[in-house]
Structure 1
Amino acid sequence: MKLNKEALSALITANVTVFAYDYGTKTVKASWLKRRKQIINSVDDVDEYKNYHIITGDNNIVDIDLDCIEAIKLAPHFLPATNMKYGRQSNPTSHWLFKVIDLTNKTTRKWFSFEDPTIDKETLVELRAHDHYSMCAGKYPEEEYVQWTDYSSIKETTFDVLYKSVAMLAVASIILRNYPTGDRNVYIWQVAGTLWHHKVDEDDALKIIEVVCNAAGDEEVKGRLAKAKHVYKPDTPQKEIVGLPTLAKGLNWSDKQISNLKDALYAVTGRSALPTFTHDFVERIAYMMKQKKYYDLEDKEMYDGESVDVKYAKHFNGKYTPLKYWKMHPDSKVCVDFTYKPKDPNRFVHVDKKLMINVYEKNDLQPDPKVDTDVFWALLKHVIPHDECREHFLDWYSYPIQNPGVKIRHAIIMQSDEFQLGKGSLFDLHRDMLGNHNTRKIELAEALDKGKNYLLNYQTVLIDEAKSSGSWSEKAQLINTLKTIISEGSIGVRQLYKEYSEQDTITNYWINTNYKDAFPLPKNEVRYWVYFSPAKRNQKMLEQFHNERLNDNLAGGVLADLMNRDLSKFNPLAVAPYTDYRNQMSGMADRPLNDFIREQFEQGVHPFDRDMLTTVELFEYLKVEKRLRVTREREVANALELLGAKCRKQIPIATVADRATLWVLRDHETYMKMPAAELGKKYVPFYNDSKAPRKKAVATPMSEDEPKSVGGAEDGIHF
Structure 2
Amino acid sequence: MKSRIEKQFNNEHLADLGRPAHSFLSSKYACKFEAKDYIPGGPRFGQNDNGLNLNVWASPKIRSAEGDCSTILNHFDYIFPDEAVRNHWLNYFASLIQLPTMKIKHCLLLIGGQGTGKSYFKTLLSHLLGPANVGLMDTGEWHGSFNAHLLNIQVVVIEELMASGRLEAYNELKRYLSEPFITANEKHVAQYSARTPYAFLAFSNHRKPILLEETDRRFHVYHTPVKCKPSEYYDQLFCKTEAEIGAFLFHLENRDLAKFSPNAAPPMTEHKRELIELSTKPSHSAIKDLIESREIPFQKDIITLDTIRQSLTLAPGISDRSLETSNLKETLLNLGAKRLGQVRINGPRYSLWAIRNVEKWQAASNEAIRAEYTKEFTIGLVQPTEAGTCLSDYPVLEFSQKKGERI
TM-score of the aligned structures, taking structure 1 as reference length: 0.40
Q: Tell me the CA shift for residue 598 of structure 1.
A: 1.9
Instruction: Quickly say closer, same or farther: Cα 1:422–1:574, change in 2 above 3 A.
Output: same
Instruction: Show the counterpart of 1:459.
Output: 154
Q: In 2 relative to 1, CA 414–647 (structure 1 residues): closer, same or farther, beyond 3 Å?
A: same
For 1:30, the equivalent position in structure 2 comes to: none
Q: 1:508 aligns with which of 199, 204, 224?
A: 199
How many Å apart are 1:381 and its aligned residue? 0.8
SS at match of 1:378: helix
- Displacement of 1:438 in angstroms is 1.6
330, 339, 342: which one aligns with 2:37? 339
CA distance in 2, matches of 1:419, 1:660: 55
The structure with higher relative contact order (CA 8 Å, sep 6+) is 2
Cα distance in 1 for partners of 2:299, 2:164 equals: 33
Between the aligned residues of both structures, percent identity stands at 16
- The residue type equivalent to 1:540 in the other structure is K
Which amino acid in structure 1 is aligned with residue 51 of structure 2? K
**What is the alpha-carbon root mean square deviation over aligned residues?**
5.3
Q: Which amino acid aligns with 2:40?
A: P
Instruction: Tell me what 1:484 maps to.
Output: 178
Partner of 1:434: 129
1:519 maps to 2:209: no
**How far apart, in 2, do the equivalents of 1:360 and 1:622 lie?**
58
Q: Secondary structure at the match of 2:120?
A: helix
Q: Is residue 597 from structure 1 mapped to residue 278 from structure 2 by the alignment?
A: no
Whichever residue aligns with residue 281 of structure 2, its letter is: P
2:392 equivalent in structure 1? none
Return closer, same or farther for 1:368/1:539 CA change in 2, 3 Å cut-off: farther
SS where residue 334 of structure 1 aligns?
coil
Q: Could you say which structure has the larger radius of gyration? A: 1
User: How many residues are paired up?
Assistant: 362
Structure 1: state its 5+ residue gaps. Answer: 1-291, 295-300, 653-658, 680-697, 702-716
The reply on whether 1:532 has 2:222 as its aligned counterpart is yes
**What is the one-letter code of the residue matched to 1:507?**
Y
Structure 1 segment 553-592 matched on structure 2, within 5 A: 554-567=241-254, 569-570=256-257, 575-576=263-264, 579-581=267-269, 585=273, 588-589=276-277, 591-592=280-281
* Secondary structure at the counterpart of residue 380 of structure 1: helix
Contact 1:453 1:495 in 2 (8 A): yes
- In structure 2, the CA distance between the partners of 1:662 and 1:396, relative to structure 1 (3 Å rule), is same
**Could you tell me which amino acid in structure 1 is paired with residue 178 of structure 2?**
T
SS at match of 1:303: helix
The whole-number CA distance in structure 1 between the counterparts of 2:342 and 2:280 is 30
2:106 maps to what in 1? Answer: 411
Q: Distance in 1 between matches of 2:329 and 2:33?
A: 52
Question: What are the Cα deviations for residues 358-385 of structure 1, in whole angstroms up to 9, with x where unaligned?
Answer: 4333344677989x85443232112222
In 2, are the aligned partners of 1:519 and 1:586 still within 8 Å (CA)? no
What is the TM-score when the length of structure 2 is the normalising length?
Answer: 0.63
Q: Shift in Å at residue 410 of structure 1?
A: 3.6
Equivalent residue of 1:343, what SS?
coil
Q: CA deviation at 1:460?
A: 1.1
Show the 5 A alignment for 1:592-631: 592-593=281-282, 594-599=284-289, 612-614=304-306, 626-627=318-319
Question: What SS does the corresponding residue of 1:647 show, helix, strand or coil?
Answer: strand
Does the 8 A contact of 1:520 with 1:586 survive in 2?
Answer: no
Aligned pairs for 1:197-208 within 5 A: none
State how far apart, in whole Å, the 1-side matches of 2:159 and 2:106 are.
13
Secondary structure in 2 matching 1:338: strand
* Partners of 2:339 and 2:352 within 8 A in 1: yes
Cα distance, 1:477 vs structure 2: 4.9
User: In 1, distance between residues paired with 2:117 and 2:48?
Assistant: 40
- What letter matches 1:484 in structure 2? S
